[in-house]
Amino acid sequence: MERIISPSMLSADFGNLERDTRMIDRSSAEWVHIDVMDGVFVPNISFGFPVMKPIRQATGKFLDVHLMIVEPMKYAGRFAEAGADLVTIHYEAVDDAAGALRQIRSYGIRSGISVKPATPVSVLEGLLEFADLVLIMSVEPGFGGQSFIEGSLEKVAELRRMIDAVGTGTLIEIDGGISSENSGEVFAAGCNVLVAGSAVFGAADPEAEIVKMLRSAP
Protein backbone atom coordinates (compact mmCIF):
# COMPACT_ATOMS: atom_id res chain seq x y z
CA MET A 1 0.00 0.00 0.00
CA GLU A 2 1.25 3.51 -0.74
CA ARG A 3 2.84 5.46 2.11
CA ILE A 4 2.57 9.23 2.34
CA ILE A 5 3.85 11.61 5.04
CA SER A 6 2.01 14.92 5.51
CA PRO A 7 4.04 17.19 7.84
CA SER A 8 1.81 19.54 9.84
CA MET A 9 2.79 23.19 9.38
CA LEU A 10 1.23 23.92 12.78
CA SER A 11 4.60 22.92 14.26
CA ALA A 12 6.65 24.99 11.79
CA ASP A 13 8.47 28.19 12.79
CA PHE A 14 6.06 30.92 11.64
CA GLY A 15 8.88 33.47 11.69
CA ASN A 16 10.56 31.34 9.03
CA LEU A 17 7.55 29.94 7.23
CA GLU A 18 9.04 30.12 3.75
CA ARG A 19 12.25 28.39 4.89
CA ASP A 20 10.32 25.61 6.64
CA THR A 21 7.95 25.12 3.69
CA ARG A 22 10.91 24.88 1.29
CA MET A 23 12.54 22.32 3.58
CA ILE A 24 9.38 20.15 3.36
CA ASP A 25 9.30 20.78 -0.39
CA ARG A 26 12.80 19.22 -0.68
CA SER A 27 11.94 16.29 1.59
CA SER A 28 10.42 12.88 0.85
CA ALA A 29 7.06 14.04 2.23
CA GLU A 30 4.54 14.14 -0.64
CA TRP A 31 1.87 16.17 1.15
CA VAL A 32 1.78 19.27 3.37
CA HIS A 33 -0.83 19.37 6.17
CA ILE A 34 -2.52 22.67 7.03
CA ASP A 35 -4.49 22.88 10.30
CA VAL A 36 -7.18 25.55 10.38
CA MET A 37 -8.78 26.17 13.82
CA ASP A 38 -11.49 28.67 14.73
CA GLY A 39 -11.53 28.66 18.54
CA VAL A 40 -15.11 27.31 18.47
CA PHE A 41 -14.92 23.77 17.07
CA VAL A 42 -11.67 23.36 18.98
CA PRO A 43 -10.28 25.34 21.95
CA ASN A 44 -7.49 26.93 19.92
CA ILE A 45 -7.02 29.34 17.00
CA SER A 46 -4.37 28.70 14.36
CA PHE A 47 -4.41 30.54 11.01
CA GLY A 48 -6.32 31.01 7.76
CA PHE A 49 -6.01 32.32 4.21
CA PRO A 50 -3.15 34.84 4.67
CA VAL A 51 -0.89 32.08 5.96
CA MET A 52 -1.92 29.59 3.28
CA LYS A 53 -0.69 31.95 0.60
CA PRO A 54 3.06 31.88 1.38
CA ILE A 55 2.87 28.11 1.93
CA ARG A 56 1.25 27.61 -1.48
CA GLN A 57 3.88 29.89 -3.08
CA ALA A 58 6.80 27.99 -1.52
CA THR A 59 5.78 24.47 -2.55
CA GLY A 60 4.17 22.60 -5.41
CA LYS A 61 3.34 19.69 -3.10
CA PHE A 62 -0.16 18.39 -2.41
CA LEU A 63 -1.85 20.73 0.10
CA ASP A 64 -3.89 18.74 2.60
CA VAL A 65 -6.17 21.20 4.44
CA HIS A 66 -7.76 20.07 7.74
CA LEU A 67 -10.65 22.34 8.75
CA MET A 68 -11.32 22.24 12.51
CA ILE A 69 -14.04 24.87 12.26
CA VAL A 70 -17.81 25.09 12.63
CA GLU A 71 -19.81 25.61 9.43
CA PRO A 72 -16.86 24.51 7.26
CA MET A 73 -18.86 24.76 4.03
CA LYS A 74 -18.95 28.53 4.41
CA TYR A 75 -15.21 28.53 3.68
CA ALA A 76 -14.31 25.29 1.84
CA GLY A 77 -14.59 26.96 -1.58
CA ARG A 78 -12.21 29.73 -0.54
CA PHE A 79 -9.67 27.17 0.61
CA ALA A 80 -9.94 25.50 -2.81
CA GLU A 81 -9.30 28.90 -4.44
CA ALA A 82 -6.33 29.44 -2.11
CA GLY A 83 -4.71 26.30 -3.52
CA ALA A 84 -5.92 23.40 -1.40
CA ASP A 85 -5.71 20.04 -3.21
CA LEU A 86 -7.84 18.35 -0.56
CA VAL A 87 -10.21 19.83 2.01
CA THR A 88 -11.14 17.73 5.03
CA ILE A 89 -14.13 18.72 7.14
CA HIS A 90 -15.19 17.21 10.46
CA TYR A 91 -18.16 14.82 10.57
CA GLU A 92 -19.13 16.48 13.87
CA ALA A 93 -19.28 19.95 12.25
CA VAL A 94 -21.84 19.34 9.49
CA ASP A 95 -25.47 18.21 9.28
CA ASP A 96 -25.28 16.83 5.74
CA ALA A 97 -21.87 15.18 5.37
CA ALA A 98 -22.64 13.57 2.00
CA GLY A 99 -23.76 16.92 0.56
CA ALA A 100 -20.69 18.67 1.95
CA LEU A 101 -18.32 16.09 0.45
CA ARG A 102 -20.07 16.30 -2.92
CA GLN A 103 -19.74 20.06 -2.83
CA ILE A 104 -15.99 19.86 -2.07
CA ARG A 105 -15.51 17.59 -5.11
CA SER A 106 -17.46 20.08 -7.23
CA TYR A 107 -14.59 22.55 -6.68
CA GLY A 108 -12.34 20.14 -8.61
CA ILE A 109 -10.39 19.04 -5.53
CA ARG A 110 -10.43 15.95 -3.29
CA SER A 111 -12.83 15.54 -0.39
CA GLY A 112 -12.01 14.37 3.12
CA ILE A 113 -13.98 13.69 6.29
CA SER A 114 -12.55 13.45 9.79
CA VAL A 115 -13.76 11.87 13.01
CA LYS A 116 -12.74 12.91 16.53
CA PRO A 117 -11.49 10.19 18.94
CA ALA A 118 -14.96 9.63 20.47
CA THR A 119 -16.80 9.30 17.13
CA PRO A 120 -17.04 5.69 15.90
CA VAL A 121 -16.08 4.92 12.30
CA SER A 122 -19.49 3.25 11.80
CA VAL A 123 -20.96 6.75 11.19
CA LEU A 124 -19.00 6.80 7.92
CA GLU A 125 -20.95 3.95 6.41
CA GLY A 126 -22.81 5.35 3.41
CA LEU A 127 -20.35 8.27 3.13
CA LEU A 128 -17.30 6.45 1.74
CA GLU A 129 -18.42 6.82 -1.88
CA PHE A 130 -18.28 10.61 -1.46
CA ALA A 131 -14.95 10.72 0.39
CA ASP A 132 -11.49 10.54 -1.18
CA LEU A 133 -10.03 10.39 2.33
CA VAL A 134 -11.03 9.67 5.92
CA LEU A 135 -8.94 11.32 8.64
CA ILE A 136 -8.88 9.50 11.97
CA MET A 137 -7.94 11.84 14.81
CA SER A 138 -5.58 10.01 17.18
CA VAL A 139 -5.59 12.94 19.67
CA GLU A 140 -8.31 15.44 20.60
CA PRO A 141 -8.09 18.06 17.84
CA GLY A 142 -6.73 21.46 18.82
CA PHE A 143 -3.06 21.14 19.68
CA GLY A 144 0.16 19.59 18.40
CA GLY A 145 2.47 17.60 20.65
CA GLN A 146 -0.11 15.36 22.36
CA SER A 147 0.24 11.60 22.96
CA PHE A 148 -1.24 9.07 20.54
CA ILE A 149 -4.52 7.54 21.80
CA GLU A 150 -3.95 3.79 21.57
CA GLY A 151 -7.52 2.74 20.63
CA SER A 152 -7.04 4.65 17.36
CA LEU A 153 -5.44 1.67 15.63
CA GLU A 154 -8.56 -0.45 16.14
CA LYS A 155 -10.57 2.31 14.42
CA VAL A 156 -8.11 2.27 11.52
CA ALA A 157 -8.36 -1.50 11.16
CA GLU A 158 -12.18 -1.38 11.23
CA LEU A 159 -12.23 1.42 8.66
CA ARG A 160 -9.78 -0.49 6.44
CA ARG A 161 -12.21 -3.45 6.41
CA MET A 162 -15.15 -1.13 5.60
CA ILE A 163 -13.32 0.57 2.70
CA ASP A 164 -12.05 -2.70 1.25
CA ALA A 165 -15.59 -4.14 1.44
CA VAL A 166 -17.13 -1.28 -0.57
CA GLY A 167 -14.09 -0.87 -2.86
CA THR A 168 -14.12 2.95 -2.98
CA GLY A 169 -10.33 3.26 -2.64
CA THR A 170 -10.81 5.98 0.01
CA LEU A 171 -7.45 6.82 1.63
CA ILE A 172 -7.01 6.56 5.41
CA GLU A 173 -5.07 9.36 7.11
CA ILE A 174 -4.20 9.58 10.80
CA ASP A 175 -3.36 12.73 12.76
CA GLY A 176 -1.93 13.21 16.24
CA GLY A 177 1.02 11.77 18.17
CA ILE A 178 2.71 10.17 15.15
CA SER A 179 6.50 9.71 14.97
CA SER A 180 8.99 7.15 13.68
CA GLU A 181 8.40 5.32 17.00
CA ASN A 182 4.87 4.25 16.00
CA SER A 183 4.68 4.88 12.21
CA GLY A 184 5.44 1.25 11.33
CA GLU A 185 2.49 -0.17 13.24
CA VAL A 186 0.22 2.66 12.06
CA PHE A 187 1.01 1.92 8.40
CA ALA A 188 0.60 -1.81 9.12
CA ALA A 189 -2.89 -1.20 10.57
CA GLY A 190 -3.97 0.12 7.16
CA CYS A 191 -3.19 3.85 7.06
CA ASN A 192 -2.01 5.44 3.82
CA VAL A 193 -1.20 8.96 5.03
CA LEU A 194 0.51 9.92 8.31
CA VAL A 195 0.34 13.50 9.61
CA ALA A 196 3.26 14.48 11.83
CA GLY A 197 3.92 17.90 13.34
CA SER A 198 6.15 17.93 16.39
CA ALA A 199 7.99 14.74 15.35
CA VAL A 200 9.09 16.36 12.07
CA PHE A 201 9.71 19.97 13.09
CA GLY A 202 11.11 19.03 16.50
CA ALA A 203 13.64 16.60 15.01
CA ALA A 204 17.30 17.56 14.72
CA ASP A 205 17.07 16.40 11.10
CA PRO A 206 13.44 16.69 9.91
CA GLU A 207 14.14 15.26 6.46
CA ALA A 208 15.75 12.17 8.00
CA GLU A 209 12.79 11.74 10.38
CA ILE A 210 10.43 11.72 7.37
CA VAL A 211 12.51 9.04 5.63
CA LYS A 212 12.60 7.03 8.86
CA MET A 213 8.78 7.13 9.07
CA LEU A 214 8.41 6.09 5.43
CA ARG A 215 10.75 3.09 5.89
CA SER A 216 9.58 1.99 9.34
CA ALA A 217 8.59 -1.62 9.98
CA PRO A 218 5.92 -2.63 12.54
Using CB under 6 A as the binding rule, whether residue 112 contacts ligand DX5 is answered as: no
Using CB under 5 A as the binding rule, whether residue 35 contacts Zn ion is answered as: yes
Residues 159-178 that bind Zn ion (CB under 5 A): 175
Kindly tell me which of 43 and 218 has the beta carbon lying closer to Zn ion: 43
In the bound complex, what is the minimum distance in angstroms from residue 161's beta carbon to Zn ion? 24
Pick the piece of the chain touching ligand DX5 (CB under 6 A) from 23-31, 134-142, 180-188, 205-213. 134-142
Using CB under 6 A as the binding rule, whether residue 195 contacts ligand DX5 is answered as: yes
Pick the piece of the chain touching ligand DX5 (CB under 6 A) from 80-88, 121-129, 156-164, 171-179. 171-179
Using CB under 6 A as the binding rule, whether residue 72 contacts ligand DX5 is answered as: no
Which H, E and C letters describe the chain, residue by residue?
A: CCCEEEEEHHHCCHHHHHHHHHHHHHCCCCEEEEEEEECCCCCCECCCHHHHHHHHHHCCCEEEEEEECCCHHHCHHHHHHCCCCEEEEEHHHCCCHHHHHHHHHHCCCEEEEEECCCCCHHHHCCCHHHCCEEEEECCCCCCCCCCCCCCHHHHHHHHHHHHHHHCCCCEEEEECCCCCCCHHHHHHCCCCEEEECHHHHCCCCHHHHHHHHHHCCC
Kindly tell me which of 139 and 210 has the beta carbon lying closer to ligand DX5: 139
What residue ranges bind ligand DX5 (CB under 6 A)?
8, 10-11, 33, 35, 66, 139, 141-146, 175-178, 195-199
